[in-house]
Amino acid sequence: MPVAPTSRLAALAGSAGLVLALGAGPALAATPSTTSSAAPSTTSSAAPSASADVELAGEACPEDEGATVLVDPQGLAGGDLAAPTAGCALEAPDGLTALTEAGFTATESQPGFVCTIEGLPAPDQADCLNDGYWAYWYAPRDGEWTSSQVGAADRVPEVGGVEAWSWTELSGDSLEGAPPRVEPAAVAALPVAGEAAPTGTSSPSATPTGAPENGTAGDSPAVDPEGADASEVEASSEEAASVPWTTIVVVVVVAALVVLALVLGALRARRRRDEEMDERRSDAR
């Protein structure tokens, strides 16, 4: 691999009055300096949204934690990076750390200068000093991509924000980075890291497991609460109607006997009082 000072990237940077922090500490990670008079526009107003031919994979950080990191391989797609892929970096003190904390493997050709991410570009694809570089972008969750004007090692990601690394092929004398092919809002809308999410693209069926899809009778039919209440009332009525008539007769007879006993008891008591009064009258005479 050619050394940095003789590389095409370094030559372009020198001709434009740019600094690439090669051997001078991690000041930049494949991003132009603000000292350039030809620095690219800081905001991408034409960043494309996720479309049918651009898949988006991975997961995002919660809105109030960490930084979501997107890697868009552009034309390098292959291996573990077949499409723009995002990961969550809960610990993100700087852009370089966020990249690795989000689960990506990166190598540096010089301190602070990212050469490959997940093995891309492969040796047979491109050279990270002569053919292209990883452009470093950032954005609010619902904003637009902005090309970083400082190196990834010198930038502190915004909590809840979105970081991006997008492979950029060198073309002519331009060092303008290629923006990611998906918008920040689409990246932020990915499933949140650590939360259960259904696999595949199909949405879960609303039909309970074991129940027929058309709602007809099956092994586990749905139960209508109102219908259940009506059934209980009907069952209670049937039980009441099924009480044997002999039981009713016995209850009536017992009740009549009780009343008769009470009446006879009252008559005996009255007759006793009458006899006592007759005895007292006879004694008095």
Q: Structural domain of residue 133, as residue ranges?
A: 4-188
Q: Are residues 12 and 147 in the same domain?
A: yes
Q: Are residues 265 and 133 in the same domain?
A: no
| Dihedral of the alpha carbons of 6, 8, 13, 17, in degrees to the nearest 10 | 70
Q: Say if 174 falls within a structural domain.
A: yes
Q: Say if 238 falls within a structural domain.
A: no
pLDDT of residue 212: 44
The CATH code of the domain that includes 72 is 2.170.130.30
pLDDT of residue 140: 97
Distance of CA 168 to the CA centre of its chain: 31
Q: Are residues 128 and 263 in the same domain?
A: no
Q: Are residues 91 and 175 in the same domain?
A: yes
pLDDT of residue 60: 98
- Pick out the chain residues at pLDDT < 50: 1-6, 12-41, 45-52, 198-221, 223
- How many domains are there within the chain? 2
- Among residues 251, 69, 126, 41, which one has the least CA distance to residue 116? 126
Q: To the nearest whole number, what is the mean pLDDT of the chain? A: 75
pLDDT of residue 240: 55
**In the block, residue with structure tokens 């003789």:** 6
Q: Are residues 131 and 33 in the same domain?
A: yes
- Among residues 185, 106, 179, which one has the least CA distance to residue 148? 179
pLDDT of residue 129: 83
pLDDT of residue 111: 85
Q: Say if 215 falls within a structural domain.
A: no
pLDDT of residue 37: 32
pLDDT of residue 242: 61
pLDDT of residue 230: 60
Q: Say if 82 falls within a structural domain.
A: yes
pLDDT of residue 16: 39
Q: Are residues 252 and 182 in the same domain?
A: no
Q: Say if 218 falls within a structural domain.
A: no
